[in-house]
Amino acid sequence: MPCYTSKLPVGRYSEMMGDHGTKVTICGRLGKHCADCGDVGHNLCDYPVGARGRTCDRPICNDHSHQVGPNMHYCETHFRMWQKTAERQGVLPLDL
């Protein structure tokens, strides 16, 4: 059974303590690990790569995924690329 390093959601108390989530270990069949940490890869990067509508498909956790639209997530690297392109074109990315 695979194990994951996840974080407890940041609540009032942990915010007061300047804590950004307490690490917890969870085990179970929860799918792929995040490509950037040991958390559960809840989302897949939807950044288009190459032809034929292929996408990056990198598994990314909620922390490392960036929502760019309804049901659209980009991984860290692709989010930065996307942001740069948007800035160049004078289109500011939506602040989601």
Chain positions contacting Zn ion, by CB under 5 A: 34, 36-37, 39, 45, 47, 56, 58, 61, 63-64, 75, 78
Sequence letter at residue 93: P
Query: What residues contact 66, with CB distance under 8 A and at least 6 apart?
Result: 73, 74, 75, 76, 79, 96
Which residue's CB is nearer to Zn ion, number 58 or number 68? Answer: 58
CB of 45 to Zn ion, least distance (A): 3
Q: Which residues lie across from 69 on neighbouring strands?
A: 72
Q: In whole angstroms, what is the distance from residue 60 CA to residue 33 CA? A: 7
Which residue's CB is nearer to Zn ion, number 45 or number 68? Answer: 45
Which residue's CB is nearer to Zn ion, number 12 or number 52? Answer: 52
CB of 31 to Zn ion, least distance (A): 13
